[in-house]
Amino acid sequence: MRILQLSAEIFPLLKTGGLADVTGALPSALHAAGCEVRVLLPGFPAVMAGVESAETVGQFLAPWGETLQVRFGALADVPGGEGPLKAYVLDVPGLFDRPGNPYEDAQRRPYADNARRFAALGWAAAHLGHGLDRHWSPDLVHGHDWHAGLACACLRLWPDAGARRVPSVYTVHNLAYQGLFGPQHLEEIGLPQVAFQMEGLEFHGQISFMKAGLFYADRITTVSPTYAQEIQTTEQGCGLDGLLRARSESLSGILNAVDDAVWNPATDRHLARNFDVRRPGGKVECKSRLQREMGLDDAADAPLFAMVSRLAEQKGVHLVLAAVNSIVQSGGQLLVLGSGDAELERAFSLAAIQHPGGVAVHIGYDEALAHRIFAGSDVTLIPSRFEPCGLTQMYGLKYGSLPLVRGVGGLADTVVDADLATLEDQSATGVVFHDFTDEAFQYALRRSVALYRHPRAWAKVRRSGMRQSFSWIHAAQQYVSVYQQLIGH
């Protein structure tokens, strides 16, 4: 099967969140499952710098009259199965050659032409599906998140009624980010007026790229089984729950996985000392090194709580802020790596000043530091309001940093709460709370500290967590099953 994967990011070339980790690891796993995968990416500077031997394979006229060029090459730093991953790049400097965040300007405002930018990506996928590259065409297009949503509409509404039907799969990574634009953009992005209705991509008077994917894709997947159920409810459906319930037979949840070549404490080159579940001693040194690196007191007996996250309300960050004093007073430490809301950034920075040696904050993102934090911390905090899948709890489990999570989405699918029964049968892997309140979160913190003060029980839970398998093999097989249902192989 020939699969064209469509996304705005891919690790390690361009990453703003977990989406890039998934799109960077999935092609190789699909190759192992028997698929021939190529990816299509916007020509952001980091992507253009990472593509080698790129040659133009074709060009097409955008609906707004601009000629768009598609190039084909290889991404040397991204594995594709047998050698580097093969990639198409939409080489349009006027749309993509901008510094910084791929979606926002320096003031964190979405670019005014984002509708045009990601419509170009959707139309590029549709043109590749219909023979733009005369040497290769996909059997199926698989798009990820709202940036790729319009591709499903472009394929379904392809103007040549006699052309072959190219099926599409659309994966929702976070339903809350929908790609909303004013109705005046409809003609600009090249879709017919018939698309702008409830049975289409219209959403409360606006164009929704997310809804375009949900409505026009042949199959919909999300990144965990629990999230697939949650988004069909009014509480977490973000106004699209009715559509998702109507399409429930075409909707499935496939749990994200972790790339062992990147996230493995036994081989991780970013660590002061490697370790694994059978030889966990290296974690002690990783913790001591991390404490000194981040200006925390070098205290082996202090439970080190870590949060590696986008600083946003969705992530339950305000729960962590409200608990800073409780963490420090319990003898623990807090380490935060992330960026986002400016007020939250300032609040955490102030907390670090108020608690020298007990709280450390790094505003921004540092991939190598993230690895060292999971290796050196004792607890990974993920108190999210909602969480489609979450990867940080999986990283924490693999690196022996027990996840403290709210039982929603993929967090509920991957973490087993430590209680008397699960401690006895050795299934416990972390601490889970449910109510999205300060009281519930701080009680979970107290439970974590109490567990930490019982080293034998703590070690038992940590071993159970580190033995968990989050392999891409199983996830890839589930995607292949979806593909086969659509293309009849």
DSSP-based three-state secondary structure for 139: coil
Domains and CATH numbers, the chain: 2-257+472-487 (3.40.50.2000), 282-466 (3.40.50.2000)
- For position 161, what pLDDT does the model report? 84
The continuous run of DSSP H or E covering 244 comes out as: helix 241-246
For the chain, which residues score pLDDT lower than 70?
489
Would you tell me how many other CB atoms lie within 10 Å of the CB of residue 319? 23
- Count the alpha carbons within 13 Å of 282 in the hemisphere toward its beta carbon: 18
Q: Look up residue 280 and give its two tokens.
A: 């966990």
- For position 35, what pLDDT does the model report? 97
Q: Which of 385, 460, 384 is nearest to 416 (CA)?
A: 460
Give the tens place of pLDDT for each residue, 291-309: 999 999 999 999 999 999 9
**Cα dihedral value 189, 193, 196, 201, nearest 10:** -50
- For position 489, what pLDDT does the model report? 53
- Strand arrangement, sheet containing 36-42: 51-61, 67-79, 84-91, 36-42, 2-6, 140-144, 168-172, 219-222, 251-253
Give the tens place of pLDDT for each residue, 101-155: 899 998 889 999 999 999 999 999 999 999 999 999 999 999 999 999 999 999 9
- For position 488, what pLDDT does the model report? 78
Give the tens place of pLDDT for each residue, 443-485: 999 999 999 999 999 999 999 999 999 999 999 999 999 999 9
- For position 133, what pLDDT does the model report? 98
